[in-house]
Amino acid sequence: MKPIETFEPNDLVYELTDLERLLDTIRNLLVEDVDYRLPDGARNIPLDRVSSLVNIAHFHVAYLAKGINHFDVPGAYVSRRELEERADA
């Protein structure tokens, strides 16, 4: 997706869902496959912080994705610009 591309609300549903899945995969890898112990047996604090930040990001993205699910109706949303164009016609 191009950064300057115009989004429709239903596009956001799919983008946020993809981001949620990405963060969920990263979170699962951090929980299941990563050893948080350093060679000396101490806890890897920076890795703990990264894991916590991924969990926070995942929570918020999942919350947003669920909250905008009602936009997942292609063509059902009419932007303000479209309404104004229709009114001027």
Stretch 21-25: mean pLDDT: 93
Q: Tell me, yes or no, if the pTM score tops 0.85.
A: no
Greater confidence (30 vs 65) lies with: 30
Q: Which DSSP string do the residues of the chain spell out, in sequence order?
A: --TTPPPPHHHHHHHHHHHHHHHHHHHHHHHHT---B-TTS-B-HHHHHHHHHHHHHHHHHHHHHHHTGGG-STTT---HHHHHHHHH-
Q: Does residue 1 sit within a domain?
A: no
Domain total of the chain: 1
Q: Does residue 30 sit within a domain?
A: yes
Stretch 5-23: mean pLDDT: 83
Q: Does residue 28 sit within a domain?
A: yes
**pLDDT over 70 percentage in the chain:** 80
Range of the domain at 49: 9-88
- The per-residue pLDDT of the chain, averaged, comes to 83
What is the pLDDT confidence band of residue 12, given thresholds at 50, 70 and 90?
confident
Q: Does residue 49 sit within a domain?
A: yes
